[in-house]
Structure 1
Amino acid sequence: MGRLRKIAFLLPFFAFSGCSFKTLALHSTAELLDVGVAAYYDESDTQLAKDSMASQLKFVEGLLRNEPTNERLNLLAAQGFGSYAFLFIEDVEPERAKPLYLRGRDYALRSLAGRPALANPAALTPDELDQALGQAAKADAPALFWGAFCWAAFINLSKGSADALAQLPKAVSFMKRAQALDPQYNFAGADLFFGTYFASRPRMLGGDPEKAKTHFLWAKRITSGKYLMTYVLEAKTLAVALQDRALFDSLLAKVREGQAGALPGARLADEVAKLKAAALKEKADDLF
């Protein structure tokens, strides 16, 4: 009987230890994934990156099944799905990209678990959303950025949906707050967002080529003109909106002649930018 009591006494300890070891293992894996992500975005072989990214995303989702509220894993998933859809899927399979972007947005919202008011922004009024965003700190900037990026990208691919278009102001609010908190994040990603936003929309719906120029200029200043995707987005949106073929050609030439990987963590995006620039060049006669 005494031996049974000892075993019964120890069982909760082992159960607790098992739970703790599991949590510790997940946290350690998340830290390793952070390191792996940095190496991934410095990959020069775009096909290798594309092939490996899909399996890595499923791996992260598997980890999230065990710890769905892990903010770091949710952010990695948000960044991963947003990047995968933008870099590899959107241009060739836009319909497939749409649910990928939505998954990225949802993971970004989950990574804001410390900000419960932002968990369901679709249910908030504009004033309520502004109040909730005002409480966000700089540490929330990445989640706000990827939430806005994925949300807006989905909306951009759903132009025939009035419901989707009605959500755009909230995605814009997310990005405005992300920019205010950390304008340098993701190679001045917020400025690239707004440069594309103002260049792509008709004037009657808030489009403004001058504002677009300013945002692209700021993005180039922040990155010292070394982030090649900036020129691709400027050519694809602003140059086409202005019907300025000379600007279009000069921007794509900068991508073609630019050094991939001049900035840490930008090698993959730069290599993909070169591919996107070449594809845009082939479509030039249809765009002008």
Structure 2
Amino acid sequence: MNDQTGITFLRYSLLGMLIGMLSGCASMIAGDLVRDLQKGIMNQDDPAIVMAGAPAYMLIIDGKIQSQPNDRELLIAGARLYGTYSSIFVQDKARAKLLSARARDYAQQAICLVREELCETGQNGFDRFVAVINTLQKADIDMLYTYATTWAGWVLANNEDWNAIADLPKIEAMMKRIVALDENYEHGQAHVYLGVLQTRLPASMGGKPEQGRAHFERAISLSAGRNLIAKVELARRYARLVFDRKLHDRLLNEVLETDPKLPGLTLSNVLAQQQARQLLESATEYF
């Protein structure tokens, strides 16, 4: 059996098993199973398995959300799964737009259950939006982080649309609120997003690369250097922006030398190592 045949077999076998499970006990997708699914994906060290198996779970969660549209846990799980899948595995632009929109819609439905004022994002002025976001508390952080990250994924998928780009200040405001509530959340990942946002442009064009560097370094510190995507983004977004080849190569080599397996970060770290190799291979051409 070759690799492609194996992946196809896995996909259909998994789908058949899940359909059978649904017919026996549809409620199993809720609660502990949803949390276990999220953990299983985050702790998987073979991205191909996630790519092959995730669509089956996406279909199941879609069905459960249709029957339980006010289940916040299901909405958050659906948003995260669609967001992860579309941002990592989908190369087709039209499909990425479609899936990232579903991820953001699920996250918005979840947050609307708590703050109705956020249900119509386009009708809220920036100041009003930030005021509402700043009323959210630590108990809301899962929902807020999911909303912010899936919205960021949607903007990335629609990066040719200036109306989408105009949403970035709202995403930044949400990430700042997460940092204020608990900067350790998700191994400091909100700092990584803030670093990316502040290194989009060089200082001469209004960017804030040094502030961005500080956010990346804070994420690295909070994770004791184990959040490898923080190092990759520091190299990609900051070191390349300021043409610091020494910093760039040091960070990426550290990523490759680090054991990627860590609860909650394994999949992200494996993907970070893949990106580190690609960045090192293109470094001579870039610098």
Match of 2:267 in 1: 268
Match of 1:175 in 2: 175
8 Å Cα contact 1:81/1:100 also seen in 2: yes
Match of 1:215 in 2: 215
The separation in 1 between residues aligned to 2:31 and 2:202, in whole angstroms, is 43
8 Å Cα contact 2:30/2:74 also seen in 1: no
Distance 1:266 1:182, change over 3 A: same
How many residues are paired up?
262
The separation in 1 between residues aligned to 2:182 and 2:94, in whole angstroms, is 31
Q: Counterparts of 1:168-247 in structure 2 under 5 Å?
A: 168-203=168-203, 206-247=206-247
Match of 2:76 in 1: 75
1:226: how far off?
0.9
8 Å Cα contact 1:122/1:167 also seen in 2: no
Distance 1:55 1:27, change over 3 A: closer
Q: Counterparts of 1:21-170 in structure 2 under 5 Å?
A: 26=27, 29-89=30-90, 92-112=91-111, 113-170=113-170
Give 2:138's aligned amino acid.
K
Q: Secondary structure at the match of 1:242?
A: coil
Q: Secondary structure at the match of 1:69?
A: coil
8 Å Cα contact 1:198/1:206 also seen in 2: no
Report the identity percentage.
28
Match of 1:20 in 2: none
Distance 1:100 1:187, change over 3 A: farther
Give 1:242's aligned amino acid.
V
TM-score by length of 2: 0.84
1:94: how far off?
4.8
Q: Which has the larger radius of gyration?
A: 1
1:287: how far off?
2.8
1:98: how far off?
3.0
1:97: how far off?
2.5
Give 2:66's aligned amino acid.
R
8 Å Cα contact 2:41/2:50 also seen in 1: yes
Distance 1:140 1:257, change over 3 A: same
The separation in 2 between residues aligned to 1:185 and 1:99, in whole angstroms, is 28
TM-score by length of 1: 0.84
Q: Deviations over 1:150-193 (max 9, x none)?
A: 22233234343221122221222222222222222222111000
The separation in 1 between residues aligned to 2:79 and 2:182, in whole angstroms, is 18
Distance 1:114 1:260, change over 3 A: same
Q: Extract unaligned runs of 5+ from structure 1.
A: 1-23
Give 1:30's aligned amino acid.
G
8 Å Cα contact 1:141/1:179 also seen in 2: no
Match of 1:284 in 2: 283
1:84: how far off?
1.8
The separation in 2 between residues aligned to 1:96 and 1:183, in whole angstroms, is 33
Match of 1:3 in 2: none
Distance 1:123 1:202, change over 3 A: farther
8 Å Cα contact 2:235/2:252 also seen in 1: yes
The separation in 2 between residues aligned to 1:205 and 1:173, in whole angstroms, is 21
Q: Secondary structure at the match of 2:241?
A: helix
Match of 1:248 in 2: 248
Q: Secondary structure at the match of 2:74?
A: helix
The separation in 1 between residues aligned to 2:254 and 2:92, in whole angstroms, is 27
1:118: how far off?
1.6
